[in-house]
Amino acid sequence: MSDRKLALITGASSGIGREIAKLAAADGYDLIVAADEPLVDAAAGLREGGIEVRSVEADLATPAGVEALLAATAGRQIDVLVANAGHGLGHGFLDQSVAEWRHVIDTNIAGTLLLLQPVLKQMVARGEGKVLITGSIAGHLAGSFQAVYNGSKAFIDSFAAAIGNELKDSGVTITCLKPGATDTNFFARAGMLDTKVGQAEKDDPADVAKTGWEAMKDGEHSVVHGLKNKAQVLASGILSEATTAEMHRKQAEPGSADR
Ligand code: NAP
C-alpha cells in the first residue's frame, strides 16, 4: 500500500471537481475520484504523476452509491475529503418533475451528508483531516427558476459553517468553496443554456478549484471565488430576498438569453 496521503474527491469527472483532482494529484495525494459516469479518461490523465488513482462510478444521490464509494477506500485513511458532486435544475418549480427536484436534494444535500458523517467521525477520532465542500454563492440568493438548487446550496453553505464550528477544536477543518457562475457542464445539465446566466461569460473552473484548494489547505472556513461574486454576496446581505429573487429571474428565466 502507498504511504502517500489519500484524497477522496466527488464530482471529479468534469468541471471544478476535475480541476481539484488535478491539484490534489500535483500535491502528491493518491486519489479516489467519483462521479455517476465512468471516469476512465479523467483517471488516466491524473495517474501521470505516478500516484495511485481509483475511480468509482456511483450515484451519490443514493445511500447505496455513497456506501460503494466508502467501500472503495478499503479501510484506508482519508486525509482530504472534497465533497463537490452536485447539480442544478433550471425552469420553474411547477414545471419540474418530482424525480428531477428530488435528485437535486438527494445529491446536493442527502448524499453529501451521508458521505461527510462517517468520514468526519474517522477524522475527528484521529484528530486531523481536511474537508472541502462545494457550496455556492447561490446559497445567498433566492433562486427564481433554480429554486430547489439555490435552496440546496443555502443548506450546504449554512451546514458547512455550522459543522466547522462544532469541530473547531477537533483538528479537522471544514472549508466551504462558494463559486459563482463557472464554465462547466453545470448549465447544460441543468437545462439552462437558453438563460442569460447560461450564455454569460463565466469563471474558469481551474481558477475556482485553486481558490478552494488553497483555502482548504489554509483551513479557512469559507471562500468566495472572485471579486464580482464577493460583491454579490455582500449585496445579498443588504437586499431583501424578494429583490434577489427578482434579480435572479432576469438571469435564470427560460428564454432570458434572448431578452
Ligand atoms: P459539472 O461539470 O457538471 O460537474 C458536476 C460533477 O458532479 C460531475 O462530476 C458529476 O458527475 C457529479 N455529479 C452530479 N450529480 C451526481 C450524482 N448524483 N452522483 C455522483 N456524481 C454526481 O459542474 P460543476 O460546476 O463542476 O459542479 C461542481 C460543484 O460546483 C457542484 O456542487 C455545483 O453545484 C457547484 N457549483 C457550480 C457552479 C457553476 O456555475 N458551475 C457555481 C457554484 C457552485 P457526472 O458527470 O458523472 O454526472
Instruction: State the residue range of the domain holding 43.
Output: 6-258
> Which of 89, 186, 210 has the most ligand 1 atoms within 8 A of CB, as the residue to mutate?
186
Note the pLDDT of residue 249: 98
Q: CB neighbours (10 Å) of residue 94?
A: 5
Note the pLDDT of residue 50: 80
| Cβ–ligand 1 contact at 35 (below 6 Å) | yes
Contact 209, 20 (CB under 8 A): yes
Is 195 domain-assigned?
yes
Question: Quick one: which of 178, 124, 172, 129 has its CA closest to 150?
Answer: 178
Tell me the torsion sign for CA atoms 78, 80, 82, 83: positive
Note the pLDDT of residue 4: 94
Is 103 domain-assigned?
yes
Is 117 domain-assigned?
yes
Question: Quick one: which of 162, 167, 56 has its CA closest to 121?
Answer: 167
Note the pLDDT of residue 142: 97
Is 80 domain-assigned?
yes
Closest residue by Cα to atom 24, ligand 1, is: 15
Query: Could you tell me the CA-to-CA distances from 250 to 94, 194, 195, 197 in Å, in that order?
Result: 18, 12, 9, 9
* Catalytic, out of 145, 149, 187, 213: 149
Note the pLDDT of residue 222: 98
Closest residue by Cα to atom 6, ligand 1, is: 11
CA of 1 relative to ligand 1 center, distance in Å? 30
Sheet holding 53-57, edge to edge: 53-57, 30-35, 6-10, 80-83, 129-134, 172-178, 222-224
Number of domains in the chain: 1
Instruction: State the number of CA atoms in the 13 A half-sphere of 171 facing the CB.
Output: 10
Is 1 domain-assigned?
no
Question: Quick one: which of 241, 44, 1 has its CA closest to 12?
Answer: 44
| Residue 60 Cα: closest atom of ligand 1 | 19
| Cβ–ligand 1 contact at 19 (below 6 Å) | no
| Cβ–ligand 1 contact at 11 (below 6 Å) | yes
Note the pLDDT of residue 36: 75
In three-state secondary structure terms, 204 is coil
By CB atoms closer than 10 A (0-12, 13-18, 19+), residue 235 is: middle
CA of 84 relative to ligand 1 center, distance in Å? 7
| Cβ–ligand 1 contact at 170 (below 6 Å) | no
CA of 184 relative to ligand 1 center, distance in Å? 8
Q: Given its phi and psi angles, is residue 28 left (phi above 0), alpha (psi -120 to 50 degrees) or beta?
A: left
CA of 129 relative to ligand 1 center, distance in Å? 23
| Cβ–ligand 1 contact at 198 (below 6 Å) | no
Under-70 pLDDT residues of the chain: 1, 38-44, 49
C-alpha angle 122-156-252 in degrees, rounded to nearest 5: 150
Closest residue by Cα to atom 21, ligand 1, is: 35
Is 37 domain-assigned?
yes
Per-residue 3-state assignment (H helix, E strand, C coil) for 82-109: EECCCCCCCCCHHHCCHHHHHHHHHHHH
* Helices 63-71 and 112-126: angle between axes, nearest 10 degrees: 40
Run of H or E including 7: strand 6-10
Run of H or E including 224: strand 222-224
| Residue 138 Cα: closest atom of ligand 1 | 43
126: domain CATH number is 3.40.50.720
Q: Is 29 a catalytic residue?
A: no
Show the cell assigned to 140.
445567498
Q: What is the pTM of this model?
A: 0.97
Q: pLDDT tens digits for 179-228?
A: 999 999 999 999 999 999 999 999 999 999 999 999 999 999 999 999 99
143 phi, psi to nearest 5 deg: -100, 65
